[in-house]
Structure 1
Amino acid sequence: MGTYKFRAKVSENGTIVVPDGFDVKNKEVEVILLDEAAPDAPKKSMKEFLDKYAGILKGVDADQAKWEYLKKKHNL
Protein backbone atom coordinates (compact mmCIF):
# COMPACT_ATOMS: atom_id res chain seq x y z
CA MET A 1 0.00 0.00 0.00
CA GLY A 2 1.34 3.44 -0.83
CA THR A 3 1.39 6.58 1.24
CA TYR A 4 -1.67 8.80 1.12
CA LYS A 5 -2.53 12.06 2.79
CA PHE A 6 -6.00 13.41 3.33
CA ARG A 7 -7.76 15.74 5.73
CA ALA A 8 -10.48 14.40 7.96
CA LYS A 9 -12.35 15.44 11.06
CA VAL A 10 -12.79 13.11 14.01
CA SER A 11 -16.49 12.73 14.73
CA GLU A 12 -18.02 13.22 18.16
CA ASN A 13 -17.95 9.47 18.75
CA GLY A 14 -14.21 9.33 17.91
CA THR A 15 -14.32 7.83 14.44
CA ILE A 16 -12.48 8.98 11.34
CA VAL A 17 -14.06 8.39 7.95
CA VAL A 18 -11.61 7.38 5.23
CA PRO A 19 -12.49 9.00 1.89
CA ASP A 20 -13.82 6.84 -0.94
CA GLY A 21 -11.17 5.29 -3.14
CA PHE A 22 -8.91 4.04 -0.33
CA ASP A 23 -9.02 0.26 -0.15
CA VAL A 24 -7.95 -0.24 3.47
CA LYS A 25 -10.34 -3.01 4.49
CA ASN A 26 -8.54 -5.77 6.39
CA LYS A 27 -5.18 -4.03 5.96
CA GLU A 28 -2.82 -2.86 8.64
CA VAL A 29 -2.20 0.89 8.36
CA GLU A 30 -0.12 3.44 10.25
CA VAL A 31 -2.06 6.45 11.46
CA ILE A 32 -0.41 9.75 12.37
CA LEU A 33 -2.62 12.37 13.97
CA LEU A 34 -1.71 16.04 13.75
CA ASP A 35 -3.52 18.33 16.13
CA GLU A 36 -3.67 21.49 14.07
CA ALA A 37 -4.30 24.91 15.54
CA ALA A 38 -7.87 26.04 15.65
CA PRO A 39 -8.86 27.61 12.34
CA ASP A 40 -9.82 30.84 14.07
CA ALA A 41 -6.47 31.09 15.91
CA PRO A 42 -4.49 34.14 14.79
CA LYS A 43 -1.56 33.31 12.53
CA LYS A 44 1.57 35.40 12.45
CA SER A 45 2.75 36.83 9.20
CA MET A 46 6.31 36.26 8.01
CA LYS A 47 7.16 39.86 8.90
CA GLU A 48 5.92 39.38 12.48
CA PHE A 49 7.97 36.20 12.76
CA LEU A 50 11.13 37.85 11.44
CA ASP A 51 10.64 40.88 13.68
CA LYS A 52 10.33 38.63 16.70
CA TYR A 53 13.36 36.44 16.00
CA ALA A 54 15.66 38.74 14.04
CA GLY A 55 19.02 39.12 15.73
CA ILE A 56 18.50 36.24 18.14
CA LEU A 57 22.02 35.03 17.36
CA LYS A 58 23.47 38.48 16.89
CA GLY A 59 27.08 38.65 17.99
CA VAL A 60 27.53 34.87 17.98
CA ASP A 61 30.26 33.30 15.85
CA ALA A 62 28.44 30.26 14.43
CA ASP A 63 31.63 28.44 13.46
CA GLN A 64 33.11 28.91 16.94
CA ALA A 65 29.86 27.73 18.54
CA LYS A 66 29.87 24.60 16.35
CA TRP A 67 33.50 23.90 17.25
CA GLU A 68 32.79 24.27 20.99
CA TYR A 69 29.81 21.95 20.69
CA LEU A 70 31.82 19.29 18.85
CA LYS A 71 34.71 19.53 21.31
CA LYS A 72 32.33 18.94 24.20
CA LYS A 73 30.43 16.16 22.42
CA HIS A 74 33.57 14.21 21.49
CA ASN A 75 35.54 15.03 24.65
CA LEU A 76 38.35 16.77 22.74
Structure 2
Amino acid sequence: MEAYKFKAKVSENGTITIPESFGIKNREIEVIILNEVAPSVERKSMKSFLEKYSGVLKGVDPDHLKWDYLKEKHGL
Protein backbone atom coordinates (compact mmCIF):
# COMPACT_ATOMS: atom_id res chain seq x y z
CA MET A 1 0.00 0.00 0.00
CA GLU A 2 1.37 3.37 -0.96
CA ALA A 3 0.73 6.44 1.16
CA TYR A 4 0.42 10.00 -0.07
CA LYS A 5 0.16 13.14 1.99
CA PHE A 6 -1.05 16.55 0.95
CA LYS A 7 -3.00 19.40 2.47
CA ALA A 8 -6.36 20.31 1.04
CA LYS A 9 -9.39 22.38 1.89
CA VAL A 10 -12.90 20.97 1.67
CA SER A 11 -14.93 23.14 -0.68
CA GLU A 12 -18.35 24.61 0.15
CA ASN A 13 -20.05 21.69 -1.60
CA GLY A 14 -17.98 19.12 0.36
CA THR A 15 -15.46 18.06 -2.27
CA ILE A 16 -11.70 17.64 -2.01
CA THR A 17 -9.52 17.96 -5.09
CA ILE A 18 -6.66 15.46 -5.25
CA PRO A 19 -3.58 16.64 -7.16
CA GLU A 20 -3.09 15.05 -10.60
CA SER A 21 0.46 13.97 -9.77
CA PHE A 22 -0.73 11.14 -7.51
CA GLY A 23 -1.92 9.01 -10.43
CA ILE A 24 -4.83 7.39 -8.59
CA LYS A 25 -7.58 7.87 -11.15
CA ASN A 26 -10.00 4.94 -11.49
CA ARG A 27 -8.52 3.21 -8.42
CA GLU A 28 -10.14 2.34 -5.12
CA ILE A 29 -8.50 4.24 -2.28
CA GLU A 30 -8.87 4.61 1.47
CA VAL A 31 -9.29 8.16 2.77
CA ILE A 32 -8.34 9.25 6.28
CA ILE A 33 -9.36 12.75 7.32
CA LEU A 34 -7.43 14.57 10.04
CA ASN A 35 -8.99 17.77 11.29
CA GLU A 36 -6.03 20.05 11.92
CA VAL A 37 -6.82 22.23 14.91
CA ALA A 38 -4.52 24.86 16.33
CA PRO A 39 -3.61 24.13 19.95
CA SER A 40 -5.49 26.27 22.42
CA VAL A 41 -2.73 26.04 25.01
CA GLU A 42 -1.05 29.37 25.58
CA ARG A 43 2.63 29.14 24.78
CA LYS A 44 4.89 30.66 27.37
CA SER A 45 8.38 31.89 26.82
CA MET A 46 11.37 29.98 28.09
CA LYS A 47 12.23 32.93 30.30
CA SER A 48 8.88 32.80 32.12
CA PHE A 49 9.22 29.02 32.52
CA LEU A 50 12.68 29.36 34.05
CA GLU A 51 11.53 32.16 36.36
CA LYS A 52 8.66 30.01 37.61
CA TYR A 53 10.54 26.75 38.12
CA SER A 54 14.15 27.74 38.84
CA GLY A 55 15.18 26.74 42.31
CA VAL A 56 12.55 24.02 42.70
CA LEU A 57 15.23 21.41 43.38
CA LYS A 58 17.69 23.65 45.22
CA GLY A 59 19.28 21.85 48.13
CA VAL A 60 17.98 18.47 46.96
CA ASP A 61 20.23 15.66 45.80
CA PRO A 62 18.36 13.83 43.00
CA ASP A 63 20.66 10.79 43.26
CA HIS A 64 19.84 10.46 46.96
CA LEU A 65 16.11 10.71 46.21
CA LYS A 66 16.43 8.00 43.54
CA TRP A 67 18.32 5.75 45.98
CA ASP A 68 15.67 6.27 48.68
CA TYR A 69 12.92 5.42 46.19
CA LEU A 70 14.66 2.25 45.03
CA LYS A 71 15.36 1.13 48.62
CA GLU A 72 11.69 1.52 49.51
CA LYS A 73 10.47 -0.11 46.30
CA HIS A 74 12.67 -3.19 46.65
CA GLY A 75 12.60 -3.42 50.47
CA LEU A 76 16.31 -2.88 50.95
TM-score under structure 1 normalisation? 0.50
Higher relative contact order (CA 8 A, sep 6+): 2
Specify which structure has the higher proportion of helix. 2
Higher gyration radius (CA): 2
